[in-house]
Amino acid sequence: MHTFNRNPGAAKVRRRNLSRHEQPAPFPMNRPALYFDHAATTPLRPEALDAMRPHLGGVFGNPSSAHRWGRQARAALDEARAECARAVGAEPAEIAFVRGGTEADNMAVLGRAAVALAAGERPRTVATTIEHPAVREACDEVAARGGESVQVEVDRVGELDEDALAGALSRGACVLSVMWVNNEVGTVLPVERVAGRARAAGVVVHSDAVQAVGKVPVDFGRAGLDLASMTAHKIGGPRGVGLLYRRRGVELAPLLFGGGQERRLRPGTEDVAGAVGLAKALTLAVAEQAAEAERLAAERDRLQTAIVDALPATRVFGAEGERAPHLLNLGFPGLDAATLVMAFDLAGVAVSGGSACASGSTTTSPVLRALYGDGAEGLASVRFSLGRTTTSAEVSEAARRTVEIVTRASALVGAGAV
């Protein structure tokens, strides 16, 4: 059941790639580089690096060892776990350190499916149509192995199709996954309300909070979540480490075997340095969240206004409802997203054509198709994402270069982006 218009009458715009001879002339490379891809990854915070340094050298023990070197590493790991728990509204025993958001999402979905199988049930997952590929493809894998995957549509303001959600919950499921903030357009979903409905129906609820932590207020316990995922490198922490929140008492089967680490959810010697860096970055991101959200939203809106005023044919994706402060997704008619992102790179501006985990794809994003239907066709979607290091001067310059890039590209292909 649809709760929004699909805009079936939207005009189709012819689009073609530029040939090698039609590529825009290189932009001067003496201009400062502008990084507007913080949703893909962020620079490591100096505070996180400083916290990690001892564990990259002198403090090298295995946390599972009983000797003093091991106990020293275990103490650091335990303190990092406690810091993370305080930051996200959890108990230390509810935090498992993992490799990142993608692994945590897979552990939540596939781990719950394994629980259903062990109970002799056919696993059934429910997720929204705008989930990150880590959730969407994990649900597809459950279906490919003989289970069932159900999708619930989301409208442009972030509301789930109530009838579809009620029907899905009434039939039961091993897990319901609802992301907190969409990684492409920034739409904020009503996680707490949906979690309440899932819990009332006896369904375990998971949320991918990767783009939410540090950008909107996040409290896993207060939200009523059973499982939640986040990663360090989106908030100024190191790559290759994240956490999975599992509410006390929620049954979850491991995907890997061979050790009892992380309460048997994630066996293998723990990355103490990574956990310490995650804890420091997470603590700072949560402490700064309110002030940073206000600043980033103002800069994001200023960037949006400057571009749309100069290029009135631009489509703004995700602005219909509550939107995370750091994300801006714009659609430019008649252009190719991959080519346009390359043009931005040549101009010294880092942007994305969508989810960094789906890079290389030249088709319309499944998220944009789910939210806008035919209204997303014929538009080159470019995601700008701001972060802690983004300055007002960089926003002004990014707007100016964007207008220049799109105007030149449109002139070459005869598109209507200007």
- Rounded distance between C-alpha atoms, residue 346 and residue 27, angstroms: 6
* Residue 176, phi then psi, degrees to nearest 5: -115, 125
> Can 357 be counted among the known catalytic residues?
yes
- Rounded distance between C-alpha atoms, residue 113 and residue 125, angstroms: 8
Q: For 220-243, b where at least 16 C-beta lie within 10 A, e where not — what string?
A: bbebbbbbbbbbbbbbbbbbbbbb
- Rounded distance between C-alpha atoms, residue 199 and residue 202, angstroms: 5
Q: For 165-187, b where at least 16 C-beta lie within 10 A, e where not — what string?
A: beebbeeebbbbbbbbbbbbbbb
- Rounded distance between C-alpha atoms, residue 154 and residue 142, angstroms: 22
For the chain, the farthest-separated pair of C-alpha atoms sits apart, in whole angstroms, at 70
| Cα–Cα separations (whole angstroms), residue 393 to 297, 300, 301, 308, 351 | 15, 12, 14, 18, 17
Determine which one of 84, 139, 174, 357 is catalytic. 357
Catalytic residues: 357
